[in-house]
C-alpha cells in the first residue's frame, strides 16, 4: 500500500488566494492523501472563506495567532500521514508534485527531503524561475537550499523537534539545517512544480526585511555546528564583503553616480566654504 501524504496548509488573513492553494492540494494526482488546514487566527473575512472550504478538506484546525512555526507544528501533530507536505495559503502546487516526490523518497534511502523548481511570480508576465540547490548540510549553512514547501517524513520532523516557534521568518531554513544534520540529503526535481506568489504580504518578503536579525539567531543557535564548518563561514563572509565592495565600485562608476556628483558639486563646494569661514 502506498504511504499517506498529509498536506498541511497554514493560513493567516489570506482570503484572496486560499481557495487556489486548497484546490492545488485536492488536485494532486497522488491518491492516498489528506488535507489539513490550519487557521492561524485569521480575520472574519478569511474565516468566512475557510468555512466554505471545510467540506473539501479532511480537517480544519482553528487557533489564536501563534505564528507560522506553531501553525505548522500543530497541523503536523494532527497529521496521520507518513509524509508531510507544507503549503502556504497564497501559493500552489502543480498536480503531479506529490506523485513524483514520494516515489523519489521511497526509492532512495539517502534522501530526507524532496523539493522542485519553482515559479516565483507577481503575475503571468512578471516572474522568474527559482532552482534550489538541494544536497546535504553544507548547502544549507548560509541559505536554504530547498523550497519551504517540500516533502519529508513525519518521523524526521518528530526526531528533530519540529519547527522553531520562536522564529517568524526563515523558520524553514532553520528547520532544514536540523533536518540535514542526519547526513541525509535533499533532492530537487528539475521541473517547475511549485508556484510562489511574490507579494508584500508573503512570508518571505516580510522575513527578508529582518534577514540579518533572523540570520544572527540561526548562527548563534547553531554556533557549535558553525565552528565545525569554520573555513566555510570565513569564505562565506569574505565572499559577501567582496560582493558588496564590487557593488560599491560599480555604483560609483555608473553614469547616474557621476551625473549626481556633478550636479551636487556646487552644494558641496558652498558647504566647504561655509565651514572654512565659519571657523
Distance CA 101, CA 2 (A): 13
DSSP result, 108-119? -TTEEEEEEEEE
Helix, strand, or coil (residue 185): strand
In this predicted structure, what is the pLDDT of residue 122?
A: 80
Q: Say which residue, 198 or 227, is predicted with more confidence.
A: 227
Cell numbers linked to 114 = 524532496
In this predicted structure, what is the pLDDT of residue 100?
A: 98
In this predicted structure, what is the pLDDT of residue 247?
A: 64
**Which positions ≥6 away from 211 have C-beta within 8 Å?**
169, 170
Residue 93 phi, psi (nearest 5): -100, 155
Helix, strand, or coil (residue 122): strand
CA 224 from centroid of its chain's CA atoms: 24
In this predicted structure, what is the pLDDT of residue 17?
A: 94
Question: What's the number of CA atoms in the CB half-sphere (13 Å) around residue 124?
Answer: 0
In this predicted structure, what is the pLDDT of residue 268?
A: 58
What pLDDT, in 10s, does the model give residues 211-226? Answer: 889 999 999 999 999 9
What pLDDT, in 10s, does the model give residues 156-209? Answer: 999 999 999 999 889 999 999 999 999 999 999 999 999 998 866 555 555 556
pLDDT at 272 over 90: no
Distance CA 208, CA 214 (A): 9
Q: Say which residue, 163 or 234, is predicted with more confidence.
A: 163
Q: Say which residue, 229 or 179, is predicted with more confidence.
A: 179
What pLDDT, in 10s, does the model give residues 70-98? Answer: 999 999 999 999 999 999 999 999 999 99
Mean pLDDT for the stretch of residues 49-56:
96
Cα torsion angle, 220, 225, 230, 231, sign:
negative
- Asked whether the whole model's pTM tops 0.85, one would answer no
- Let me know: does 112 contact 184? Beta carbons within 8 Å: yes
What structural domains and CATH numbers belong to the chain? Answer: 5-228 (3.90.550.10), 233-278 (no CATH)
Beta-strand ranges (E) seen in 21-125 are 33-40, 59-63, 83-88, 92-93, 111-123
What pLDDT, in 10s, does the model give residues 106-137? Answer: 999 999 999 999 999 887 778 899 999 999 99
Cα torsion angle, 230, 233, 237, 238, sign:
positive
Integer CA distances (angstroms), 261 to 231, 258, 266, 273, in order: 40, 5, 10, 18
**Which positions ≥6 away from 153 have C-beta within 8 Å?**
82, 83, 84, 105, 112
Amino acid at each position: 500500500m502506498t504511504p499517506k501524504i498529509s498536506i498541511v496548509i497554514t493560513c493567516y488573513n489570506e482570503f484572496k488566494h486560499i481557495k487556489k492553494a486548497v484546490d492545488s492540494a485536492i488536485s494532486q494526482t497522488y491518491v492516498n492523501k489528506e488535507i489539513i488546514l490550519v487557521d492561524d487566527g485569521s480575520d472574519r473575512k478569511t474565516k468566512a472563506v475557510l468555512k466554505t472550504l471545510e467540506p473539501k478538506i479532511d480537517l480544519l484546525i482553528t487557533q489564536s495567532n501563534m505564528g507560522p512555526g506553531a501553525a505548522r507544528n500543530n497541523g503536523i501533530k494532527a497529521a496521520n500521514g507518513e509524509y508531510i507536505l507544507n503549503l502556504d495559503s497564497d501559493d500552489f502546487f502543480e498536480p503531479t508534485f506529490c506523485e513524483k516526490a514520494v516515489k523519489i523518497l521511497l526509492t532512495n534511502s539517502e534522501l530526507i527531503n524532496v523539493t522542485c523548481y519553482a515559479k516565483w511570480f507577481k503575475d503571468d508576465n512578471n516572474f522568474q524561475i527559482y532552482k534550489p540547490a538541494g544536497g546535504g548540510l553544507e548547502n544549507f549553512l548560509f541559505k536554504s537550499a530547498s523550497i519551504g514547501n517540500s516533502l519529508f517524513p513525519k518521523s524526521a520532523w518528530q526526531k528533530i523537534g519540529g519547527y522553531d516557534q520562536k522564529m517568524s521568518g526563515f523558520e524553514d531554513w532553520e528547520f532544514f539545517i536540523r533536518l540535514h544534520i542526519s547526513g541525509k540529503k535533499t533532492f530537487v526535481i528539475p521541473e517547475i512544480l511549485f508556484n510562489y506568489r511574490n507579494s508584500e504580504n508573503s512570508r518571505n518578503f516580510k522575513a527578508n526585511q529582518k534577514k540579518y536579525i533572523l540570520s544572527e539567531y540561526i548562527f548563534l543557535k547553531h554556533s557549535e555546528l558553525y565552528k565545525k564548518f569554520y573555513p566555510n563561514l570565513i569564505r562565506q563572509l569574505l565572499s559577501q564583503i567582496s560582493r558588496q565592495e564590487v557593488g560599491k565600485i560599480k555604483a560609483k562608476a555608473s553614469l547616474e553616480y557621476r551625473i549626481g556628483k556633478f550636479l551636487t558639486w556646487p552644494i558641496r563646494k558652498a558647504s566647504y566654504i561655509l565651514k572654512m569661514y565659519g571657523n
